[in-house]
Amino acid sequence: MTYPKGKYAWTVKVGEKGQIVIPKEARDIFGIKPGDTLIVLGDKKRGIAIPPKNAFSTLAAKLFGDVITEEDN
């Protein structure tokens, strides 16, 4: 099966402790190294997502919008 450029799909198995192993090709593509912290997002209707670490700021802005705190005033 071929995927559109920049789109990928892998399968993983969940271990007894609920852990998954991220495939090597995915780790290489997204620059995931041992010790990195990843964010796992979940939506009951849409599923689970693990965004690339460099996309978190953009993702957070989309999720939370422009939040103004008292410190900003």
For the stretch 4-35, pLDDT in tens is 888 888 999 999 999 999 999 999 998 999 99
Domain-located, residue 53: yes
Q: Which of 59, 16, 53 is nearest to 36 (CA)?
A: 53
Render pLDDT for 30-66 as a digit per residue (tens, 0 to 9): 899 999 888 888 999 999 988 877 677 776 777 777 6
Helices (H) and strands (E) in the chain, counts: 2, 2
The pTM of this model reads 0.65
Q: Are 14 and 20 in contact (CB under 8 A)?
A: yes
Count: domains in the chain: 1
- Find all residues with CB under 8 Å of 56, minimum gap 6, and list them: 39
Domain-located, residue 46: yes
Domain-located, residue 7: no
d(CA 51, CA 58): 10
Query: How far is the first Cα of the chain from the last one, in angstroms, to the nearest whole number?
Result: 53
